[in-house]
Structure 1
Amino acid sequence: MNSIINRFLSNLKWLLLRRQLGSYKSKVYISSKVTMKYPECIHFGCNVGIGKMTCFLPVKQYAGVRYNPQIIIGDNCMIGIRNSFACIDRIQIGNNVLFAGYVHITDHSHGYEDVTRPIALQTLISKGIVVIEDDCWLGFGSEILSGVHIGKHCIVAARAVVTKDVPAYSIVAGNPARIVKQYNFENQQWEKKI
């Protein structure tokens, strides 16, 4: 009985939410307690699953500055529990991307340059948009920071902090993340990087 009620409530929530979204294709599965601030800035592809307590937090205005944020999630993406997406410009996720739990992606940080003002009152700063191409897997507790472009078919290890671009067909780990393996198409295997 509880599963029927939960399914009904989930469908009702989706019916109300889809009118507010920037765009969506179809089949977006939203678990409980998902937060979507400014849903008009959020775009979903087809067959997207969103885990419990995930937050989509586009920032339209902060410290007197207006922004035009966009969070774009491609087709067949599965987002684990308690993920967070925060942007002032754009976070763009390709197709078939898997997210473990507690992944954090942001395209900005707090300004801190003016030491006479509290950090909370300073404008937000960014190194650029975040792009994650198709077929990637983001491990538990990983973080992707502003200005990062992750190429196709990459793996980000658990708790890695990605601060710079990652070429396609790479595995990164650590804080800051560095390449630990890359796929060699000539011998068709993953090779360790020293």
Structure 2
Amino acid sequence: MTINDYIPVQTTPFDKKTKIKIHLWRLINRTIFRVFPNQIKKPRIILLRLFGAQLAETVNINRKSNIELPWNLTMGHQSSLGDNSWIYCLNKIQIGEKCCIGKDVYLITGSHSIESPDFNMVTKPIIINDGCWVATGSYILAGVTLGRFSVIGAKSIVFKNTEEFDVVAGNPARFIKKREFKNIT
């Protein structure tokens, strides 16, 4: 392999119709989507559903969240996306019920193959099971499944799956302990 064989041009494999849909959504996501205050949730849910997102009526999506390719997004009852979160749905992203995706969190389902001289795009889904909390500034990378009730510590980068009730943190995220719920009276 020579440098002349290496073509790291970032292109997407999408057809023209999909590219137009992507650009139309980006325009809406950066304009109309942000007009409504966070207390008025319904218009954002309607806009996302118009573009194919599968959302429960009770989701809370911050007006400053950035959602790419929303037709690959599913969110369950009482789940939320925080301020400036980036939901990069090149593949499916499934967020269960009662999940908190914090401020500045990145959910990234795509990258490029380091083994390809053409820099081919590779994607894998992300699954966030019920009751998870992904804290501020964390990254969840392609192919990761978070077990039910997992907690991802602030500023963590998650490359690997978590088990139920795992608390992980760091770069790369490492197991800290099991989450325990206590009765508070």
TM-score, scaled relative to structure 2 = 0.69
Could you report, residue by residue, the CA deviation over 1:76-99 in whole angstroms, capped at 9, with x for unpaired residues?
012210011112221100000012
Question: Which of 38, 62, 74 is the equivalent residue of 1:51?
Answer: 62
Aligned partner of 1:96 in structure 2 is 98
Could you report, residue by residue, the CA deviation over 1:97-132 in whole angstroms, capped at 9, with x for unpaired residues?
0122000001111234344x5xxxx33113x31100
The root-mean-square deviation of aligned C-alpha atoms, in Å, is 2.7
Question: In the alignment, does 2:72 pair up with 1:70?
Answer: yes
How far off its partner does 1:19 sit?
6.6
Aligned partner of 1:192 in structure 2 is none
| AA of the residue aligned to 2:122 | I
Extract unaligned runs of 5+ from structure 1: 23-38, 60-68, 190-194
Could you report, residue by residue, the CA deviation over 1:1-38 in whole angstroms, capped at 9, with x for unpaired residues?
xxxx966xx58x818x727726xxxxxxxxxxxxxxxx
Aligned partner of 1:87 in structure 2 is 89
User: What is the distance in 2 between the residues matched to 1:166 and 1:112?
Assistant: 25
Regions of 4+ moved over 4 Å: none
Identity %: 25
Matches within 5 A, 1:1-194: 14=43, 18=46, 21=49, 39-40=51-52, 42-58=53-69, 70-115=72-117, 117=118, 122-126=119-123, 128-183=124-179
How far off its partner does 1:162 sit?
0.4
The alpha-carbon distance between structure 1 residues 20 and 114, as it changes in their structure 2 partners (threshold 3 A), is: closer
Could you report, residue by residue, the CA deviation over 1:145-194 in whole angstroms, capped at 9, with x for unpaired residues?
0110101111100010000000000100001101101147xxx88xxxxx
8 Å Cα contact 2:72/2:93 also seen in 1? yes
Count of aligned pairs between the two proteins = 146
The alpha-carbon distance between structure 1 residues 6 and 161, as it changes in their structure 2 partners (threshold 3 A), is: closer
Q: Which has the higher contact order (CA 8 A, sep 6+)?
A: 2
Extract unaligned runs of 5+ from structure 2: 1-34
How far off its partner does 1:143 sit?
0.5
How far off its partner does 1:70 sit?
1.4
* Larger helix proportion of the pair: 2
Secondary structure of 1:21 counterpart: helix
Secondary structure of 1:135 counterpart: coil
